[in-house]
Structure 1
Amino acid sequence: MSVFKIEGGISLKGEVHPQGAKNEALQILCAVLLTAEKVTISNIPDIIDVNKLIELLRSLKVKIEQLDKNTYTFQADALDLDYLESEDFRKDGKSLRGSIMIVGPLLARFGKGYIPKPGGDKIGRRRLDTHFEGFINLGATFRYNKEEYFYGVEAPDGLKGAYMLLDEASVTGTANIVMAAVLAEGETTIYNAACEPYLQQLCNMLNLMGAKIDGVGSNLLRIQGVKELKGCEHRLLPDMIEIGSWIGLAAMTKSEITIKNVAWDSLGIIPNAFRRLGIHIEKRNDDIFIPAHIDGYEIQSYIDGSILTLADAPWPGLTPDLLSVLLVVATQAKGEVLIHQKMFESRLFFVDKLIDMGAKIILCDPHRAIIIGHDFKSQLKATQMSSPDIRAGMSLLIAALSAKGTSVIQNIDQIDRGYENLDKRLQALGARIERSEN
């Protein structure tokens, strides 16, 4: 198993180019199953989760050609649907949570879709009810094998458009239902739909392929079903979670970093969330410049003087994927903040590792933590730790880069699932980080 060895307490400097968006890639790659024509996708990140999905598509006999490091063509004109009921699929599909999104396209185009219970981060319950209730509303029959944890939906006579009010604004659930509905007969209305930029990207790509989706960017989508879709070219957005991670890393390590071509209009309130922690963020055309915070940064209070709360919420609220980074950055701020992780009950448990490093954190319950910042008057101490999930792993890496001494992070495959070639990119900025086999 690979580990990172990090010598902390070193200021970095330079430019970084954010990778393509992981969460968008998982949706867009599944959408290639909706057409027999060729689809070209660029800016695909070279990370474990995305590569696993590409290999899953390859096992389905999607014709895949890599044009350059981050550009591929996909053509799903001769799929092996028998693979969906094989033991290999049961093994391959459950290793990746994003695999759930192949079900909608397969159901729409071929009248059936199957998936083993998918894996992913151990950050708490992540229900699949929204996905399957949406398919049932479109006329599919649902079945579940409890012994083998295997899901299936079938609609041999095709899907029919319907009105549905989603029980939660699930991003992957909305994406899956949209991909099923674009080939359904008649009109589908989805209320309380997720409207994250990555879902907007999916809808725009589907419209380019010939779908008829209205309301893109809102929580009310209307979809007129079409008989077939054609090929297209699509470029992924830069990854907003990685961009936020670089912002936090720059502030925590007192580094001067420019983040290039961030697609600023797609970042929503992410820059302001970091500004609430006192971090200076400068917009330079479509770049973000973070100066070296030599004198530190101070957390803002509310107008009435009460303690700041940073909480996740569906878009255009703050993405839950960045709360771990915001939390670790707050450990060296001046002031206090309450981090409220509403969506997942296991995502804050990594704070015990930060406490071991000297951070002042009170874990109130599985969803809330109060952070009392050191104002850089007391440096975090290096330690040995293990990455529990993608985002916590990145947060621990940020902590290690700012800490005094040499830290070791084990289980870095979790970090590699979401961040491309991270050690090499950090080394280019001057970081002392090495990857080795434990």
Structure 2
Amino acid sequence: MSSAFEVRGGNRLKGEITPQGAKNEALQIISAVLLTPEKVVISNIPDIVDVNLLIELLGDTGVKVNRISRDVCEFQADNIDLKYLQSPEFKKKSGRLRGSVMIAGPLLARFGEAYIPKPGGDKIGRRRLDTHIIGFEKLGAKFVYDADDNFFRLETTGLKGTYMLLDEPSVTGTANIIMAAVLATGTTTIYNAACEPYTQQLCKMLNSMGARISGVGSNLLTIEGVTSLKGCQHSMLPDMIEIGSFIGLAAMTQSEITIKNAGVEHLGIIPEKFSQLGIQMEFRGNDIYIPSQDSYEIQTFLDGSILTISDHPWPGFTPDLLSIVLVVATQAKGSVMIHQKMFESRLFFVDKLIDMGAQIVLCDPHRAVVIGLARQHQLRGITMSSPDIRAGVSLLIAALSAEGKSTIQNIDQIDRGYQYIDDRLRKLGADIKRV
């Protein structure tokens, strides 16, 4: 029986909250420890299910893991058990975790073989692995798919640098190919590479280990292969999705919240999108202060037409925050069209919001029009279930602003991406408990 959150909405929250380390960076950075036999120390690790599972998986493959504290961990991959990668235990464990695909690049680069399970995880439409596999093939890996047990096997006698144009700027795909290419012979050029801050962090970390990657922060990366990498220390950025979630939460619950250590310079266009919803923010050094606002009004385009907010690869707006923007818009003054381009079924949670009294027209699987209630009617509490990590937190925000009691089931999905979220919100004055 999985647990649920019971939430009584309507409280105004107040106080300071510090975002966790970035989940999506963690999955890349922690996989990169496999590239060297030397010690790697990583700090600001989020204590969440997906990351802990990956650390456990690395431990099972023979990486020495020394958890100095919940957010600092020392890794040393000097004795890897390649046989374990073919075992039923590995298949079972890695199949539960989408991030496990990230260990393929480093394993292929250093040991010449890797195994990838068919991905598990979210229910947000197909997540293809084509970008990863095609990239590995271009570097000279051979790829065998075992249909009996849904398993991909990759092998190589030596990766060779090459030019490649990715079919999509996949973040995990780019990271995986970078990790494979750093130890390849010769120069690899990746065009249409993902370039968001977490990929930049991976490149900075690899360069500190002795890799030669240039073009960091752009969509054209050049990687000169080296023969080996050394250990390093790396600290992760704060999670920008969590920061966006807290900005939305503050506005929706009319709360006065300060987000501490928000890594403001790495947030790109995120603050601007929340400003377009009429949310006020002050940047105080590396903190974001959000004053208590009675109302917020959605801007229109300059010609007066309805605002559209859509996702786009970095430096565009991340798809992970569209669910949050959608929820926050339900109590704004004005209307907005939310256009979710990247995933098929990320918007299917709006039926729960409609049950709560929100005015939303779901046009198709990719587009929804939100007609803001301008706080004329509070949302009302209901019982609901969370389909994926981001929708889960969006529903949590809706519940915290709603009238009466809400029950959110399937919160394992929330725990996969947000650490101790209930404790941290209670400290701000939220009425939330795990049942």
Q: TM-score, normalised by structure 2?
A: 0.99
* Aligned residue number for residue 198 of structure 2: 198
* 1:98-247 superposed matches below 5 A: 98-155=99-156, 157-247=157-247
* Aligned residue number for residue 367 of structure 1: 366
Cα distance per residue 1:221-253 (max 9 Å; x no partner): 000000000000000000000000000000000
* Aligned residue number for residue 403 of structure 1: 402
Compute the displacement of 1:146 (Å). Answer: 2.0
Cα distance per residue 1:51-87 (max 9 Å; x no partner): 0101100110100001112000000000111011000
Q: Distance in 1 between matches of 2:429 and 2:231?
A: 43
* Aligned residue number for residue 249 of structure 1: 249
* Aligned residue number for residue 388 of structure 1: 387
In the alignment, is residue 45 of structure 1 matched against residue 30 of structure 2? no
* Aligned residue number for residue 28 of structure 1: 29
Instruction: Return the letter of the residue paired with 2:395.
Output: L
Cα distance per residue 1:124-169 (max 9 Å; x no partner): 11110000100000000011112311011100x2100000000000
Q: What SS class does the counterpart of residue 378 from structure 2 fall into?
A: coil
Cα distance per residue 1:368-414 (max 9 Å; x no partner): 00000000010000000011110000000000000000110011010
* Aligned residue number for residue 350 of structure 2: 351
Task: Confirm or deny: 8 A CA contact 1:41 1:233 kept in the other structure.
Answer: yes
Q: What SS class does the counterpart of residue 5 from structure 1 fall into?
A: strand
Task: Confirm or deny: 8 A CA contact 1:84 1:115 kept in the other structure.
Answer: no
* Aligned residue number for residue 73 of structure 1: 74
Task: Confirm or deny: 8 A CA contact 1:353 1:385 kept in the other structure.
Answer: yes
Identify unmatched segments of 5+ residues in structure 2.
none
Instruction: Return the letter of the residue paired with 1:90.
Output: K
* Aligned residue number for residue 262 of structure 1: 262
Q: What SS class does the counterpart of residue 52 from structure 2 fall into?
A: helix
Cα distance per residue 1:253-277 (max 9 Å; x no partner): 0000000011111000000000000
Q: What SS class does the counterpart of residue 120 from structure 2 fall into?
A: coil
In the alignment, is residue 326 of structure 1 matched against residue 325 of structure 2? yes
Q: What SS class does the counterpart of residue 293 from structure 1 fall into?
A: coil
Q: Distance in 1 between matches of 2:62 and 2:141?
A: 25
* Aligned residue number for residue 422 of structure 2: 423
Q: Distance in 2 between matches of 1:85 and 1:67?
A: 30
Cα distance per residue 1:1-47 (max 9 Å; x no partner): 11100010110000000000000000000000000000000000000
* Aligned residue number for residue 335 of structure 2: 336
* Aligned residue number for residue 84 of structure 2: 83
Instruction: Return the letter of the residue paired with 1:321.
Output: D
Q: Distance in 2 between matches of 1:45 and 1:196?
A: 19
Which runs of 4 or more aligned residues in structure 1 lie more than 3 Å from their structure 2 counterparts after TM superposition? none
Compute the displacement of 1:281 (Å). Answer: 1.1
Compute the displacement of 1:115 (Å). Answer: 1.3
Q: What SS class does the counterpart of residue 188 from structure 2 fall into?
A: strand
Instruction: Return the letter of the residue paired with 2:386.
Output: S
Cα distance per residue 1:198-217 (max 9 Å; x no partner): 00000000000000000000
Instruction: Return the letter of the residue paired with 2:372.
Output: G
Let me know the Cα RMSD of the aligned residues. Answer: 0.5
Task: Confirm or deny: 8 A CA contact 1:341 1:347 kept in the other structure.
Answer: yes
Q: Distance in 1 between matches of 2:373 and 2:193?
A: 41
Compute the displacement of 1:120 (Å). Answer: 1.2
Q: Distance in 2 between matches of 1:151 and 1:324?
A: 32
Q: Distance in 2 between matches of 1:181 and 1:187?
A: 8
Q: What SS class does the counterpart of residue 149 from structure 2 fall into?
A: coil
* Aligned residue number for residue 15 of structure 2: 14
In the alignment, is residue 64 of structure 1 matched against residue 65 of structure 2? yes
Q: What SS class does the counterpart of residue 4 from structure 2 fall into?
A: strand
Cα distance per residue 1:316-343 (max 9 Å; x no partner): 0000000000000000000000000000
Q: Distance in 1 between matches of 2:261 and 2:401?
A: 26
Q: Distance in 1 between matches of 2:393 and 2:293?
A: 20
Q: What SS class does the counterpart of residue 229 from structure 2 fall into?
A: coil
Q: Distance in 1 between matches of 2:78 and 2:183?
A: 16
Q: Distance in 2 between matches of 1:283 and 1:377?
A: 30
Q: Distance in 2 between matches of 1:164 and 1:423?
A: 44
* Aligned residue number for residue 307 of structure 1: 306
Q: What SS class does the counterpart of residue 345 from structure 1 fall into?
A: coil
Q: Distance in 1 between matches of 2:117 and 2:214?
A: 32
Q: What SS class does the counterpart of residue 147 from structure 1 fall into?
A: helix
Compute the displacement of 1:434 (Å). Answer: 0.5
Instruction: Return the letter of the residue paired with 1:384.
Output: T
Q: Distance in 1 between matches of 2:153 and 2:15?
A: 49
Q: Distance in 2 between matches of 1:48 and 1:379?
A: 33
Instruction: Return the letter of the residue paired with 1:175.
Output: A
Q: What SS class does the counterpart of residue 354 from structure 2 fall into?
A: helix
Compute the displacement of 1:430 (Å). Answer: 0.5
Instruction: Return the letter of the residue paired with 1:224.
Output: E
* Aligned residue number for residue 274 of structure 2: 274
Q: Distance in 2 between matches of 1:347 and 1:146?
A: 29
Cα distance per residue 1:156-191 (max 9 Å; x no partner): x21000000000000000000000000000000000
